[in-house]
């Protein structure tokens, strides 16, 4: 059962490294979304409880909305 946890953590770590070294802002937001997925999946795998599932779903939805809001604001500012 530890292998899926390590896979999610490696995925999150890889996305953070790519986010640090990526010069393009729009691609950074994609890696931010992948990071959110990796962290929320790790929480669910470490703490298998219904409340953890609900909390991580809220976290993932929140980080996705944040990423989309930042992307649309960036696109609006760079387009004008």
What pTM, to 2 d.p., does this model score? 0.73
Q: Which has the closest alpha carbon to 63: 31, 21, 22, 18?
A: 31
Distance, C-alpha 22 to centroid of its chain: 15
Domain boundaries, the chain: 2-79
User: Tokens 């930042």 correspond to what residue?
Assistant: 70
CA distance 14 to 19: 8
pLDDT tens-digit series, residues 53-80: 898 888 888 888 887 888 788 788 776 5
pLDDT tens-digit series, residues 4-45: 899 999 999 999 999 999 998 888 888 888 888 888 888 888
């Amino acid at each position: 059962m530890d292998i899926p946890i390590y896979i999610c953590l490696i995925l999150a770590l890889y996305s953070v490294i790519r986010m640090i070294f990526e010069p393009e802002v729009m691609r950074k937001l994609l890696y931010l979304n992948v990071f959110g997925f990796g962290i929320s999946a790790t929480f669910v795998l470490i703490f298998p409880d219904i409340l953890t599932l609900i909390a991580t779903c809220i976290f993932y939805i929140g980080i996705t909305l944040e990423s989309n809001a930042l992307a649309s604001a960036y696109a609006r500012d760079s387009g004008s």
